[in-house]
Chains A and B, each alone.
Chain A
Amino acid sequence: DTEVTQTPKHLVMGMTNKKSLKCEQHMGHRAMYWYKQKAKKPPELMFVYSYEKLSINESVPSRFSPECPNSSLLNLHLHALQPEDSALYLCASSQVGSGGFNEQFFGPGTRLTVL
C-alpha cells in the first residue's frame, strides 16, 4: 500500500468553528508532513513529525495545531481561522534517515474554505 489518504476532501468552515483534518498512511513511514498550497503556488511546508514528535514548525500561527497520535495518523486541528487560510492542505509521509533521500508520498489534499 503506497497511498496516503486524507479526509475530508472538502471542508467549509466559519471563522469561529473548530474542525480537524486527518491524514493516514500504512507504509510504515515514520515522518509525516503538513503542507499548505494556495492556488497557483507551490506547496509550503508547515509541520514535520519524526517518530511521532514535532520536528519542524515553520512559524505557523497557533490557530493551526498539529497532532500525531501514532505512527500512521496525522491530524491538523483548526480553530479561529481567517479567510486567507483557505487553501489546499496536503499531507505527506516518508521514511526517516540521514544522508540519503527519503521520497515524500503525498495525499490528494483537503480543500479548505474559510468563510
Chain B
Amino acid sequence: AQSVTQLGSHVSVSEGALVLLRCNYSSSVPPYLFWYVQYPNQGLQLLLKYTTGATLVKGINGFEAEFKKSETSFHLTKPSAHMSDAAEYFCAVTDSGGSNYKLTFGKGTLLTVNP
C-alpha cells in the first residue's frame, strides 16, 4: 500500500524565513503526489500536485515542491513565510493508474509563523 511520511509534526518559522515541510513517499511505481493546506475550522485546499512531467511544481500562494525519485521525496518550500501561511499542511499520495479515488494522507505538519 502506498503511504507518505511527513517529518515533523510541528514546524515553527519566523516571518520572512524559508519554509521547508518534508514529505517522503513509499511506492513501487511513480505515484501522484499532492500538498493540501487546511486553515483552522476549514476544509482542505490543494496547494500543488505532481502527476507527470516537470519535477519542480509551482503551486498557489508562492509554494513549490520538487519530486525527487532518487530520494522518494516531495518536500514543500516557500522562500519567505507570511503570517497567513500558518496552517496545517498535508502531503498525500494516490495511484497513478486506475480511478485514483483514494487519497492517502500523511499525518500532517502544523506550521506556525512567528512575527
Find B43's partner among A42, A99, A109 (CB 8 Å cutoff). A109
Asked if B99 and A101 sit within 8 Å, CB to CB, the answer is: no
Asked if A90 and B108 sit within 8 Å, CB to CB, the answer is: no
B interface residue count range (under 10 / 10 to 19 / 20 to 34 / 35 or more): 20 to 34
* Residue A45, interface by CB 8 Å: yes
Asked if A42 and B106 sit within 8 Å, CB to CB, the answer is: yes
Asked if B102 and A108 sit within 8 Å, CB to CB, the answer is: no
Complex interface residues of chain A between 30 and 74 (CB less than 8 A to chain B): 31, 33, 40-43, 45, 48, 50, 55-56
Chain B residues lying within 8 Å of A33, measured Cβ to Cβ, are 101
Chain A residues lying within 8 Å of B42, measured Cβ to Cβ, are 108-109
Q: Report the nearest B residue to A55, measured CB to CB.
A: B101
* CB-CB under 8 A for A103 and B101, given A90-B44, A108-B43: no
* Residue B20, interface by CB 8 Å: no
Complex Cα gap A42–B43 (Å): 11
Q: Report the nearest A residue to B105, measured CB to CB.
A: A42
Asked if B98 and A106 sit within 8 Å, CB to CB, the answer is: no
Distance of A14 from chain B, by nearest CB (Å): 23
* CB-CB under 8 A for A41 and B108, given A99-B97, A109-B43: yes
* Residue B83, interface by CB 8 Å: no
Chain B interface residues toward A at CB < 8 A:
32, 41-46, 49, 51, 90, 94, 97-103, 105-108
Known: A48-B102, A94-B101, A106-B43. 17 other contacts (CB 8 A): A42-B106, A43-B105, A45-B103, A48-B101, A50-B101, A56-B102, A90-B43, A98-B97, A98-B98, A99-B98, A100-B100, A101-B32, A101-B94, A102-B100, A103-B46, A104-B103, A106-B45
